[in-house]
Amino acid sequence: MPEKKTSVQSSKQARLRNGKDTAQNSLKGQMGFSEVLLSSPGSVLGLVLVLLLVYWFYKDLNSDAGPPGPKPLPVLGNLLQLNMKRPYLTLLKFSQQYGSVFTVWMGPQKVVVLAGYKTVKEALVNHAEVFGDRDAVPIFVETQDKNCQGKPFDTTEMMSCAVSNIICSLLYGNRFQYDDSEFTTIIASFRRNMQLLGSPSIQIYNWFPWLGRLVPNRNEIFKQREQNKSQVLKFVRKLRATLNPHMCRGFVDAFLVQQEKEKGVPNSPFHEENLAQTVIQLFFAGTDTTATTLRWALLLMAKYPHIQDQVREEITRLIGARQVQVEDRKDLPFTDAVIHETQRFVGIAPFGLPHKTTKDITFQGHFIKKGTTIWPFLFSVLNDESQWENPNSFYPAHFLNKDGKFKKKDAFMPFSAGRRVCLGEGLARMELFIFFVTLIQRFRFTAQPGVTEEELDLTGNVGLSRDPVEHKLCAIPCF
Ligand code: HEM
């Protein structure tokens, strides 16, 4: 495959990813800490009082030894230096300044950030035990208890429904029609929760959990969580009523069968609360990540139609119109490379999830205390210049050798690595392949009329994950 066709230099994207965007873009893109607080005037007075009260508590913020980093302010830490809409850009700049192991203070919370492939791999794989604990995220802890016919459409709902149905099949042994109001209500409620969880005010809440009810989105999350839980328990009741222990329809059935066996066992984990939480977590972890990656993939295909043509040509040549199977992956190296490059390029989970050290460790010459919050900075691994030829471009050739065969890359870590590697990696990879091939087999994706390919925006918004900015695409049937 000619290199010219697969290397797409997106200079605007490159500047953004390097944190050197124009003044105009950074003004547009930045939402400062103070702006977020002032958007909720009722909380300002309370916040000032609380800040004064806790000042003495954090006054020795600077005295803790550990990896270097930008100088923090008392209580606020480094928040004022942080681009709240694109925090990964600030962290990339810090990593250039302070090296691959550095400290930032997210308000009063000390975070050690691990940046770049070599460092993240050394920590998560070579020291898997020490860096393998999950750190608690306050908002998670507290809430634990069409047919478009070529017309422009927002890909969000369609993708969420398709991917959620996979999780529904695994959990309930059942999938839903896209117009089933029970299903669309669940999807809408989960999506709203995802938006709230990724909102700047909830990020601030996670650093200052004592703000509690002053953060309005937190209260809505609690309400949504309760709704999600009662919806899940409603499904569980239906499944319990028709349970056949000899024919499990899905995870919930298997759980209920085990619950029956453990009746009377003290402290058995097989109780209703655990079941509801597990189902909710699998929905959260398994829907939005995969659906958003697929939305990015289609957006990239609309942006770079010559790459889309190459994918379709390969699919048509090798599997034609028949239904794709997982085993076809090995025969579709270019398609596989495009999917991998999509995941690398978009870095859907820029910071992974927080980890915590299980004991004191001296890592790359820096002392890190037991119990320190660790951020494996996956975005920096997926953009590490020492590992990727064109880190700032959408360049499927990253995953192809000179003969056009698929080439594995160790620095491909969108699912993280080590003890806490994504539980759903195998499922997600399967879903991405089957959905992507099926969609490209049947439709040509383009920008909506009046929007040029150049105008399709690849900037992305970071909440809980890195989402594409709102956009519409056209899906034109290929036959
Ligand atoms: C493109 C899709 C996906 C991406 C990019 C992704 C990425 C990640 C990442 C970066 C983590 C954090 C790992 C760490 O802490 O080091 C994670 C954790 C997790 N993921 Fe995924 N994920 C995806 C899909 C899924 C799916 C489909 C499921 C389930 C069905 C799932 C379930 C989980 C769970 C349960 C965890 C927590 C594991 C733990 O705490 O040990 N993920 N994922």
* Token couple for 458: 């690849």
For the chain, the farthest-separated pair of C-alpha atoms sits apart, in whole angstroms, at 69
The pLDDT assigned to 50 comes to 61
The residue segments making up the domain with residue 267 are: 3-477
pLDDT of residue 345: 97
Whichever domain contains 181, its CATH number is 1.10.630.10
Where are the strands (E) in 314-383, listed by range?
355-356, 361-363, 366-368, 373-377
Taking the C-alpha atoms of residue 16 and residue 284, their distance in angstroms, rounded to an integer, is 29
Binding site membership of 422 for ligand 1 (Cβ less than 6 Å)? yes
- Tell me whether 0.95 is exceeded by the ipTM: yes
Closest residue to atom 21 of ligand 1, CA basis: 422
* Cβ 423 under 6 angstroms from ligand 1: yes
In three state form, how does the secondary structure of 126-181 look? HCCCCCCEECCCHHHHHCCCCCCCCCCECHHHHHHHHHHHHHHHHHHCCCCCCCCH
Q: How far is the CA of 349 from the centre of ligand 1 (A)?
A: 9
- What pLDDT does 434 receive? 97
Among the listed residues 171, 225, 177, 176, the one whose alpha carbon sits nearest the alpha carbon of residue 197? 225
Number of domains in the chain: 1
Four-CA torsion 310, 315, 321, 322, nearest 10 degrees: -170
Best residue among 415, 430, 431 to mutate for probing ligand 1, ranked by most atoms within 8 Å of CB? 415
Q: Which atom of ligand 1 is nearest to the CA of 292?
A: 1
The answer on whether 422 is annotated among ligand-binding residues is yes
pLDDT of residue 250: 95
Residues of the chain with pLDDT under 70: 1-64, 139-149, 479
Q: How far apart are CA 146 and CA 233, in angstroms?
A: 29
pLDDT at position 227: 86
At residue 200, the pLDDT reads 83
3-state secondary structure of 367: strand
Buried b vs exposed e over 361-371: b needs ≥16 C-beta within 10 Å? Answer: bebeebebeee
Tokens of 133: 């604990």
Looking at the CA of residue 134, tell me the nearest atom of ligand 1. 40
- The pLDDT value recorded for residue 142 is 63
What's the CA-to-centroid distance between 73 and ligand 1, angstroms?
33
- Please report the atom of ligand 1 found closest to the CA of residue 414: 5
